[in-house]
């Protein structure tokens, strides 16, 4: 079985041929600064959320908010340094200024991290608990990079973040760029997959986290967009099953924003 990926849905919505180029021909989008910045941000969130218990364990007394926030900041800075070392070859190839990268990463993520530190601080003050006990009772817990799939829907994806409560889960899609209607397609697709993967949990809404605008947009799931998810999925399946090239869409303004612009417009016959 060849699964449709959630990212295929947004690729198709942008341009059907993008699905063909990536999934059938195996072409890859070249990394640029914005893509690399997004990768750094996602990796920091992923590592931070997986290791957050270590930060909370250090809260062994009635500390003030600034102390707790500094624990998170220090951990983020250490993660940044580790990732700079890990991706050193990419940084050199893209000629990225490290100070500029650091400023952009921190300015993108700190508002969200401050929100989390506030939640931990408030929980500590209200409950009067610290360390391991504080972590055990803290809600929501944060899950990151969660793989979900459904054979019934022939669909799979990876969710950036899930807020997990006792009976509720809330999917997050994290975006370092501008708002886009494709993001609604993604979050609705993740809702479908989560309903299959986690049937014992309520999923009242999703959240799209726009880092640049420092905005958390709640999304309540609509039948119309869910129907669009299925419509696009069926179109993608047709491309994958038949190795079918949909052809160039001939929307030059949109094409110039695509990583595959040069491939599609390398000669005149591509435009016919």
pLDDT tens digits for range 171-220: 999 998 888 889 999 999 999 999 999 999 999 999 999 998 999 999 99
Contact (Cβ atoms closer than 8 angstroms) between residue 173 and residue 186: yes
Name the more confident of 269 and 9: 9
148 and 131 within one domain: no
pLDDT at res. 251: 75
Contact (Cβ atoms closer than 8 angstroms) between residue 243 and residue 208: no
Contact (Cβ atoms closer than 8 angstroms) between residue 144 and residue 49: yes
Contact (Cβ atoms closer than 8 angstroms) between residue 80 and residue 136: no
Region 126-140 average pLDDT: 97
User: Does 158 fall in a domain?
Assistant: yes
User: Does 266 fall in a domain?
Assistant: no
Q: Output DSSP code: residue 256.
A: T
Q: Final residue of a domain: which of 113, 137, 161?
A: 137
User: Does 264 fall in a domain?
Assistant: no
> In whole angstroms, how far apart are CA 128 and each of 60, 61, 72, 155, 165?
11, 9, 20, 44, 20
User: Does 267 fall in a domain?
Assistant: no
Q: What is the span of the domain harbouring residue 110?
A: 33-137
Q: Output DSSP code: residue 258.
A: S
Q: What is the CATH number of the domain that holds 206?
A: 3.90.320.10
Structure tokens at 20: 């063909």
User: Does 188 fall in a domain?
Assistant: yes
Angle (CA) 245 228 211, round 5°: 95
Domain count within the chain: 2
- Please check the confidence at residue 142 and state whether its pLDDT lies above 80: yes
218 and 253 within one domain: yes
Percent pLDDT > 90 in the chain is: 84
User: pLDDT tens digits, residue range 148-178?
Assistant: 999 999 999 999 999 999 999 999 999 988 8
- Please check the confidence at residue 267 and state whether its pLDDT lies above 70: no
pTM above 0.85, yes or no: yes
Residue that the structure tokens 């500590």 belong to: 124
Q: Where are the alpha helices (DSSP H) in the chain?
A: 6-14, 16-19, 33-50, 52-57, 65-86, 88-93, 98-127, 131-137, 182-197, 223-242, 252-255, 261-264
- Please check the confidence at residue 40 and state whether its pLDDT lies above 80: yes
pLDDT at res. 62: 94
- Please check the confidence at residue 41 and state whether its pLDDT lies above 90: yes
Q: Final residue of a domain: which of 102, 117, 137?
A: 137
Percent pLDDT > 70 in the chain is: 98
Region 134-149 average pLDDT: 96
67 and 107 within one domain: yes
């Amino acid at each position: 079985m060849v699964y449709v990926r959630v990212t295929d849905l947004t690729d198709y919505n942008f341009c059907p041929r993008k699905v063909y180029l990536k999934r059938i021909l195996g072409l890859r989008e070249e990394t640029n600064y914005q893509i690399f910045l997004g990768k750094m941000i996602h990796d920091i969130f992923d590592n931070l959320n997986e290791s957050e218990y270590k930060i909370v364990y250090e809260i062994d007394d009635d500390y003030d908010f600034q102390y707790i926030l500094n624990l998170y900041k220090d951990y983020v800075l250490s993660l940044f340094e580790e990732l700079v070392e890990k991706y050193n070859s990419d940084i050199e190839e893209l000629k990225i200024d490290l100070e500029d990268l650091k400023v952009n990463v921190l300015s993108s993520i700190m508002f969200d991290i401050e929100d989390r530190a506030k939640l931990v601080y408030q929980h500590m003050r209200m409950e009067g608990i610290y360390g391991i006990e504080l972590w055990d009772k803290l809600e929501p817990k944060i899950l990151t990079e969660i793989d979900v799939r459904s054979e019934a829907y022939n669909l799979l994806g990876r969710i950036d973040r899930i807020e997990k409560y006792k009976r509720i889960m809330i999917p997050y899609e994290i975006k370092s760029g501008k708002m886009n209607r494709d993001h609604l397609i993604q979050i609705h697709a993740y809702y479908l997959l989560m309903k299959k993967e986690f049937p014992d949990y309520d999923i009242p809404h999703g959240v799209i986290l726009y880092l640049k605008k420092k905005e958390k947009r709640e999304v309540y799931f609509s039948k119309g967009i869910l129907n669009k998810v299925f419509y696009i999925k069926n179109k993608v399946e047709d491309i994958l099953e038949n190795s079918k090239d949909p052809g160039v869409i001939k929307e030059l303004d949109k094409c110039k924003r695509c990583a595959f612009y040069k491939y599609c417009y390398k000669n005149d016959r591509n435009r016919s």
